[in-house]
Amino acid sequence: MATLREQLSAKGLWPRYANSYQLKAFGHATRTAISLWATDGATIRAACP
């Protein structure tokens, strides 16, 4: 299964060559969102501190 970033890139919604700051910011926001709505948030937060 393609990652969200790969799906967005394929649709032209995500720049293929984003700088590292954008990638880090996006990754942090994604992990935060996942930890908020995941059914087992403790496991997610432990895996992605």
Residue-range domain boundaries for the chain: 17-49
Q: What is the DSSP string of 21-43?
A: HHHHHHHHHHHHHHHHH-TTHHH
- 20: burial class by Cβ within 10 Å (0-12, 13-18, 19+)? exposed
Q: Are 4 and 33 in contact (CB under 8 A)?
A: no
Q: For 28, left (φ over 0), alpha (ψ -120 to 50), or beta?
A: alpha
Per-residue pLDDT tens digits of the chain, which is 49 residues long:
667 766 666 666 656 555 556 666 666 667 676 666 655 656 655 666 5
